[in-house]
Every structure is written in C-alpha cells, then in structure tokens.
Amino acid sequence: MSYRRITIVSGSPITDKMIADMKNKWMPASLAFGVTKWEAVQTSPDSGFIIATYPDKATADAAAEKAATMRAEVQEEYSGPAPTILEGEVIVSN
C-alpha cells in the first residue's frame, strides 16, 4: 500500500507567490525524490496542508531528510511556525 505524509501549515498568508512556489519549486522537488502524487489544500487565508503520496514507506523514509530540509527552507523563507507532520500507511483507498 502507498504511504502518505501530510504537512499542516499555518501562520503565513497563502499568497500568489507561495502558490507559484508550490507549483514551480516544491512539487517538482518532491516528485524528484519519489512522491507519486502531491496536493496542496488551502483551509483559510493563512493555513493549509500538503498531501504527499509515496509508493511505499521505504520510499518515504528515503526521502524524509530531503523533505525536512525543504520544509526548513520554506519555513525560513515565509517566516512561519514549524509545520505539523502526520504520516502513515494507507489502509483503505478507492
């Protein structure tokens, strides 16, 4: 089964620049280290979450350090608080 890592962010306004960075920087970088599907969801003007789907836990584990480095760079650039990270194996899907 696939494996998902969910990154919950808040505290920084979600601007057009941030959305462009998601499309042009963060998503392509994530796909390069094994993510098979990458989705960003805006839940308010200054919060949202990203769902990164990996083919399996081993691929997610291999990408964990790269993902953490990217999150730290984004946090520094946008001056937001540290995100909350949830992750686990998909147990039911359609």
Q: Is residue 53 part of a domain?
A: yes
Residues 13, 15: Cα–Cα separation, whole Å: 6
Ordered per-residue pLDDT tens for the chain, 94 residues: 899 999 999 988 999 999 999 999 999 999 999 999 999 999 999 999 999 999 999 999 999 999 999 888 888 888 778 899 999 999 999 8
**Which pTM value belongs to this model?**
0.89
Q: Is residue 94 part of a domain?
A: no
Q: DSSP label at 16?
A: H
CATH code at position 66:
3.30.70.100
Q: Is residue 44 part of a domain?
A: yes
Q: Which range marks the domain in which residue 34 is found?
A: 3-89
